[in-house]
Amino acid sequence: MPLYTAGSLKSELNDRGWRLTPQREVILHVFQNLARGKHLSAEDLYNLLQNEGEQISLSTIYRTLKLMARMGILRELELAEGHKHYEINQPYPYHHHHLICVRCNKTIEFKNDSILKTGTKTAKKEGYHLLDCQMTIHAVCPTCQRALLPI
Amino acid sequence: MPLYTAGSLKSELNDRGWRLTPQREVILHVFQNLARGKHLSAEDLYNLLQNEGEQISLSTIYRTLKLMARMGILRELELAEGHKHYEINQPYPYHHHHLICVRCNKTIEFKNDSILKTGTKTAKKEGYHLLDCQMTIHAVCPTCQRALLPI
DNA sequence: CTGCTTATTGCGAATCTTATTTAATAAGCA
DNA sequence: TGCTTATTAAATAAGATTCGCAATAAGCAG
Ligand SMILES: [Mn+2]
Ligand SMILES: [Mn+2]
Ligand SMILES: [Zn+2]
Ligand SMILES: [Zn+2]
């Protein structure tokens, strides 16, 4: 899980016969400058770029998010039903995990260094090349516990 | 994360004003008797039941899987793109986690007791009612590493 | 710097999973 | 045993993501 710059992204892409496009650079930049604790869906990213005057099609957004997740640059998160969220994939000491309320989707980030260690060790043991490891806690938040039993 | 029987499922449902139906009982039974390491998608479950002569509609399958996941009876897993997989949610010592190849979806289960401990502690600290906690490692398996660079 | 190859983009249309609507059914309970 | 209403099946809709294709432009060789 290295930290990417526009330059290192370009070389990693070119090494595989792929290309660095302005769209990819812009999207990486958005995630690199996203506030801690923020997570973007494809639609979120699309709207954010629209508001900044960047014209990147939704198709390209989807393709780029998938590509960068497969490269280990972004993390793909299941924070809500029906669509994915993304954030930059950072190593220690920024590596963190998520506690999610399954009813209202309120999300709390937490850290635990032993998880990344376990992930690294387990992947290595099986000969896998690690891209990301994440712990997800599904639970019901205090507010939703008090609400009267809707599922 | 208690272990459910048809009886305890019924009381937990009835306590909330809900009902135990034959469909729900059948679906719980399938997951309770599923071989270790097996994970079912909604479609998988539907086909499995069809082959056993059980007529349960796909709508009911989806509703039941969601309900049981929200109750903490089943775990919802992201083992492949585009659809979820489910397995029974078991406590220590059966509690386990998943290492997934993002290219071919080959999945390996592994255990690590400290994860459930961390999940329990973190949920408690925030006042959340724990349903499930899981660690997911995204990686590229040895076979896919050798394959020539398709994403 | 120039031209060529082909990866990538944007657009629209398609796909596919999951949710919803509705009438019929049946679980729980008095 | 009868009543209330949660649940079902089936058809339909919704919504996220992917795909096909023509136009564009990144990388590279000359
Ligand atoms: Mn996060
Ligand atoms: Mn499993
Ligand atoms: Zn909540
Ligand atoms: Zn693989």
Pull the structure tokens for residue B13: 């449902």
Decide if pLDDT at B46 tops 60.
yes
Give the minimum alpha-carbon distance from B103 to chain A in angstroms, rounded to a whole number. Answer: 8
Give the global pTM.
0.92
C-alpha to C-alpha distance for B57 and A85, rounded to whole angstroms: 31
Provide the CA A21 to C1' C3 distance, Å, integer: 20
Residue B146: its pLDDT value, please? 84
Pull the structure tokens for residue A16: 């595989």
Residue B7: its pLDDT value, please? 77
Contact B141 A127 (CB under 8 A): yes
A67, B29, B30 from B34: Cα distances, Å: 34, 9, 6
Range B47-67 average pLDDT: 96
Largest Cα–Cα separation, chain B? 56
Residue B119: its pLDDT value, please? 97
Range B83-94 average pLDDT: 94
Q: Separation of A18 CA from ligand 4 center, angstroms?
A: 21
Q: Which nucleotides of C are covered by protein (CB under 7 A)?
A: 7-12, 16-21, 26-29
In tens, the pLDDT along B92-117 reads: 889 999 999 999 999 999 999 999 99
More confident residue, A3 or B124: B124
A120 and chain B in contact, CB less than 8 A:
no
Q: Separation of A80 CA from ligand 1 center, angstroms?
A: 13
Residue B151: its pLDDT value, please? 63
Q: Is B116 exposed, middle or buried (0-12, 13-18, 19+ CB in 10 A)?
A: buried
Residues of B in contact with A137 (CB under 8 A): 119, 122-123, 128, 130, 132-133
In tens, the pLDDT along A45-71 reads: 999 999 999 999 999 999 999 999 999
* Position B8 confidence tier, pLDDT thresholds 50, 70, 90: confident
Residue B128: its pLDDT value, please? 96
Q: What is the rounded end-to-end Cα distance, in angstroms, of chain A?
A: 38
All structural domains of chain B, each given as residue ranges with its CATH number in brackets, are 1-90 (1.10.10.10), 92-151 (3.30.1490.190)
Question: What is the residue-level pLDDT of chain A in tens, covering all 151 positions?
Answer: 566 776 788 999 999 999 999 999 999 999 999 999 999 999 999 999 999 999 999 999 999 999 999 999 999 999 999 999 999 999 888 999 999 999 999 999 999 999 999 999 999 999 999 999 999 999 999 999 987 666 6
Q: Which of B114, B128, B133 sits opposite A114 (nearest CB)?
A: B114
